[in-house]
Each structure stands twice: as C-alpha cells, then as structure tokens.
Structure 1
Amino acid sequence: MAALTPAVVPTRAAWLRNRWVRFAVRRTGRLLVSLWVLVTASFLMIHFVPGDPVRAALGLTAPADLVAAKREALGLNDPLLTQYVHYLGNLLHGDLGESIQSQLPVAETIGQRLPATASLAFLAFGVAIAIAVPVGVAVAVATRRGRRRRTELAFAGTSVVLGAIPDFLLGVALVAVFAVNLGWFPVAGRDGASSYVLPVLALAIGPAAVLARIVRVEMLTVLETDYIRTARAKRLPALRIHLRHALPNAVTATLTLGGMLLASMVAGTVLVENVFAWPGLGSTIVQSIVSKDYPLVQGTVLVYGVIVLIVNNLVDVALAVLDPRSTIGDL
C-alpha cells in the first residue's frame, strides 16, 4: 500500500496545477460571489423602500386587514434574517414570489416576457457585429499609413456622434422618421419581423459605431506586424491576408468590448422597450415600478443581473480560449 502513495500524489498535484482547472475554479468562484451579492442586493431592495411597500402597492385606501394579510403572505412580518433564509430557499426552487398587482407568480410573468427581451438584445448584438467588423476592417485597410485622411476623419466623427446618442433618443428619432413620417415600419408592438427593425437598430447603432472604431485600431496594429509583411511578400491575395491572417488576431479586444456591450444592450432594453411598447422585461420593470409592485421589480432586477453576469463570464471564457495570454493572471 505504501508503494502506491508516491504514484498517486504527483498525479493529483499535476491535476491541481493545470492552468485551465485553476481558471475554471477562479471564474466559478467569482461568479458565485457575484451572484450572492446580486441576490442579497435584490433582497434588501424591498426593505430600503421608505414606508410600507405593501401599503404603497395596494394604495392608501386599501383596508388595513387586506394590507396586513398581504404582509403576512409575503413574510414581511418575520425577522429580516428569517426572510433572507426563506428568500434564498425559494430562489433555489425557482420561486421568485408573487406579484402584488396580478397575483401571478413572478417567475411566470418573467418567463412570458423574457423571450421578447432576449431576442431583441441578441439580434441587436448580431447586427452590431455584422456592421462593425466589416466597416472597421474596410476603414483600417483604406486609411493604413495615413492614407485617405478625409475618410479617416469622416469615420471618426460619424462613429463618435453615433456612439454618443442614447438608445432611447435614437429610438424616438427612428420612430418619428421611419414609422410616423414614412410609415415603413410599425410604430410599436411586437408583431412580425418588421416590428424588430427599429428597436434592433436603436440598440445596435451606438455599439456598432464603438466596435467599428476598436476593430479599426486593432486592425491597423496587426497590419503592421512582421507576419503580415511576410504574407504580402509572398504575394498572397489581399482578401486572404486581411480576413484569414489579420482579422483573427485583431478580434481579441473586439470580443472583450463586444461582451461588455452585449451586457449593456440587455440593460438598454429597459428604455428601448418602453419607446416601442415592446412586451419584454424592460417594459415590465417600468410598469411594476410605476404600480409599486415590488416583488415583480425585485425578480426582474435579479433576472437582468443574472443575465449580465452570465454574459460577462461567457465572454471571459471565450477570450481565454481564443487568446490565453489575455488571461494569464487567471491561468
């Protein structure tokens, strides 16, 4: 038995020293801590509201016995620590509570609205990438080594302006021009493919402008590297040099920023959905805030936070796979 010990210990130690195992453990740990902070913040949110949240939701004229019964049903009469433990236990079973206004489970309401928000955000992200990458590459190739100065200035000015316009303001402008004046697209609602066009553009144009600038800068750097000069010396086709050799090496920064922009797009749906009366989580959270339906606000905020955390962690994983050097501290 003693002879087996030296063979077992090095094998286990080697497994623990694996850089990808360490990366997975650290990322999982950070995600769990972030989730705990988010859950705790969403729990405390309803207790930071001045006054009685149930009375605020039911109205000043609601009977006292109805308010007391609702507080008892929500568990608000229990000690804070007891409420917290119950809240965590309910979350583990997928129970986000019950809406004060509709009397429906919060999880059911979110489940009905989440697909509309997810489809809008991810479609907008795809459009932003589809615009940013080819535009950034084309401008980088056209303006390399100081050429076409006017093109560079026009691109820089346009991208700065478009990137600075708030999503909801851009949405209002798109509605005024293309829905009200021209009548090309629906003003509001989610009914068919045409109803996606304006809200998707409202979410995608700003991030596309920002990403295009990053793609151009990274592409300019890569185009001046030695291996690209070698590829040109071999007289390889320009399209092959730019797309096969240069673009993959310029995508790291784009992926990092793209992930952050995707998270911001998910959060940006709150305003854009209200501009277009989109039946998603964004309009739901605003309506629940107005009606003071705090359990629904609490659950919706929690879901938004979880989506953002998951997106950020998926980007980190993809970045580590594509370029391990970028996460050398974790690996």
Structure 2
Amino acid sequence: MSLTLIAPEPPVDPARARPWSHPWVRFGARRLGRLLVSLGVLVTASFAMIHLVPGDPARAALGPTAPADLVAARRHALGLDDPFLVQYLHYLKGLFTGDLGTSLASQLPVSDVVAQRLPATLSLAVLAFLAAVVVAVPLGVVTGVLTRRGHGRRTELVFTTSSIVLATVPDFLIGVALVYVFAIRLGWLPVAGDDTAASYVLPVVSLAIGPAAILARIVRVEMVGVLEADFVRTARAKRLPARTIYLGHALPNAVTAALTLGGLLLSAMVAGTVLVENVFAWPGLGSTIVQSILVKDYPVVQAIVLLYGLGVLLTNLVVDVALALLDPRSTIRED
C-alpha cells in the first residue's frame, strides 16, 4: 500500500483576497466618490440657477410687450410650468442624453453654441497656462539658487515685491493696460479678435502674468528649502556638477507643491477667461456667458457654468493623480 503525499496549499495573500484593501484601489475609490458628489452638487446648482435668478426667462426672451398667452405658451414649451422635481428630472435626462436645451436668444441647440465657442476658450487658457509655467519655473529656480542661505537680499526684495504687485492686479486690468500700450499707442498688436497669431499675444500675456508671478514665488520658496536638504548636501559632497544638482536632484523635489498650485491656477485661468475675453472681444465661452446673462438666455448660462465647473473638477482630479504618482506615500495612503 503506497502513501500519496499532498503538498499543503500556499497561504492566501490577504491583499489579493481583498483587492479593495490595496492603497491604489482605496485612493481611486475616494477620488471617484468625491468627484461624483461634486458633480451632483454642481449639476443641482446649475439647475437651480434658473429658479433663483429673479425674473421670468420666457418673459425676458419675448420682451416686456409680449402678450400673456404667448409668454404662457413659451413657459409651457420650456417646461417651466412643471413641478420643480419634474423639471429637475428632465434636466438630468437631458444631460445624460446630451440635450442641453435650446438657446432662448438664437434658437440654436445649446450644445452647438458651446461647441462653437469652447475651442477658443480652451486655446486661450492652455496657452496662458503653458506661458506661465515656462516663465515661472526657470525664474523661480534661478531666483531660489541666487537667494539661498540668505544671499542676494536685493534680488529677493525686488523679486518678492514685483511678484506680489503682479499677482494682485486683476488680469482684465492688465489686459486693458496692454491694449493701451501695445495696440493703441504703439500699434504693434491687434486690439481684438482671434484671426491671426498676433491676436493671441495680448490676451495670453494678460491672463498669464498673475499666475506666473504666484507660481514663481512658490517654486523659489520650495527650491530654497530643497537646497538645504540632506540629499542635496550629499550630492554636493560627491562633487556632482551644479547643473546636475539643481536640475536633476533639487528641481524634481521642488515642483510637488508647484504642481498642486499649478492645477489650481489652471482652474482659475479658465474662470479668468470670462473677463479677459470681454476685454479683447474673444469669441469664447467667457464673452458668450456675459452676453447670455444680459439677455437672460438661461439655458446657455446653465451649460457654460456646468462646463466651467466640470473643467475645475477634472483639473483637480488630474492634479491629485499626478501627485499620487510623484509621491504615492503621502497621497494614496491618506485616511
């Protein structure tokens, strides 16, 4: 009689048995939950806007002299005479099906109006953000190197003072000043529109100056702190080239806080396009929402507010993921 030996089964890894216990899974679940809650609040707020703003949208669209029966028919066509909950459910159904309603002013689908204006706003915000980063990061790094360990007091004073002044001046005032100097007085650049590449210069610069000043200050502060860290001292002790120390060791560790602020600045730039677009007659969502508010075209206002809010939420989500990839120990393990 022969005996058969059966090898014992290997112990089951608890992390594999429960995939939700993995830090990255918990991180993704937390961020997804926050995004869904924020989206719910944003959608509800954009819907309630039409009921909180004084005035009758149907009356505003038809004019003060329109007959009452015509106004009632327009309200019925827009669904404004339905109960609040029914209107909300219709609004949610339209969002899921891509039907954002019809513009009261142009009688065009709101989705078409947004699709026509969105590229101009995105191009302006992205170009301004890239310009701010390209200027702020090298400026902050150089200033941080020059002012480390208490050196360069005058340089630090000039940099700090000028950055505070530039950061506090509203971007639309900067735009007005740039128009007066470079478009009216000197005639170098066009005043308004987006027909040529030169027409992008003034709105991009006016939108990028303030965020660039803020970002440069953050990069400088982080750079000064990183240059006093132990790993930088070790790199100096190894006689590494200064370029390798500053760009290879110090800069990657100094951009973490700048990345967080950069995401917030990008969100602020998208919102800041509202005023800048009106200064330069830029055919984007910013000028469109102002015109829609003036004529009480609430479906267009709702759609643009929802789009701006969605852009901010997605930008914050991208920043959170980027920070988790750069420093997962401090981000994905948070309770």
Normalising by the smaller structure, the TM-score range is over 0.9
Structure 2, unmatched stretches of 5+, are 1-7
Q: Which amino acid aligns with 1:17?
A: S
Write the distance in 2 (CA, Å) between the matches of 1:325 and 1:167.
37
CA 321–10 in structure 1, closer or farther in 2 if over 3 Å, else same: closer
CA 10–133 in structure 1, closer or farther in 2 if over 3 Å, else same: closer
Write the distance in 1 (CA, Å) between the matches of 2:221 and 2:185.
38
Q: Which amino acid aligns with 1:99?
A: S
Write the distance in 1 (CA, Å) between the matches of 2:52 and 2:293.
14
Q: Which residue of 2 aligns with 1:91?
A: 95
Write the distance in 1 (CA, Å) between the matches of 2:15 and 2:268.
45
Identity %: 69
Q: 1:26–1:330: 8 Å Cα contact kept in structure 2?
A: no
Alignment of structure 1 residues 182-331 onto 2, 5 Å: 182-330=186-334
Q: 2:223–2:250: 8 Å Cα contact kept in structure 1?
A: yes
Write the distance in 1 (CA, Å) between the matches of 2:334 and 2:243.
35
**Within the alignment, does 1:115 sit opposite 2:119 as a pair?**
yes
Q: Which residue of 1 aligns with 2:16?
A: 11
Q: Which amino acid aligns with 2:210?
A: G
Write the distance in 2 (CA, Å) between the matches of 1:234 and 1:330.
36
Q: Which residue of 2 aligns with 1:71?
A: 75
CA RMSD of aligned residues (A): 1.6
TM-score if structure 1 supplies the norm length?
A: 0.95
**Within the alignment, does 1:138 sit opposite 2:148 as a pair?**
no
Write the distance in 1 (CA, Å) between the matches of 2:245 and 2:14.
49
Displacement, 1:58?
Answer: 2.1
Write the distance in 2 (CA, Å) between the matches of 1:315 and 1:9.
31
CA 10–330 in structure 1, closer or farther in 2 if over 3 Å, else same: closer
Structure 1, unmatched stretches of 5+, are none
Displacement, 1:9?
Answer: 7.7
**What is the DSSP-based 3-state SS (H/G/I as helix, E as strand, rest coil) of the residue aligned with 2:259?**
helix
Q: Which residue of 1 aligns with 2:5?
A: none
Q: Which residue of 2 aligns with 1:28?
A: 32
CA 9–133 in structure 1, closer or farther in 2 if over 3 Å, else same: closer
Q: 2:121–2:284: 8 Å Cα contact kept in structure 1?
A: yes
- Structure of higher CA gyration radius: 2
CA 218–7 in structure 1, closer or farther in 2 if over 3 Å, else same: closer
- How many equivalent residue pairs? 327
Displacement, 1:325?
Answer: 3.4
Q: 2:215–2:258: 8 Å Cα contact kept in structure 1?
A: yes
Q: 2:148–2:224: 8 Å Cα contact kept in structure 1?
A: yes
Q: Which residue of 2 aligns with 1:167?
A: 171
Write the distance in 2 (CA, Å) between the matches of 1:275 and 1:326.
42
* CA offset digits 1:159-204 (Å, max 9, x no partner): 0000111010000001000111111111000112111110001110
Displacement, 1:227?
Answer: 1.0
Q: Which amino acid aligns with 1:67?
A: V
**What is the DSSP-based 3-state SS (H/G/I as helix, E as strand, rest coil) of the residue aligned with 1:104?**
coil
* CA offset digits 1:54-81 (Å, max 9, x no partner): 1123210123233222211111111110
Q: Which amino acid aligns with 1:34?
A: S
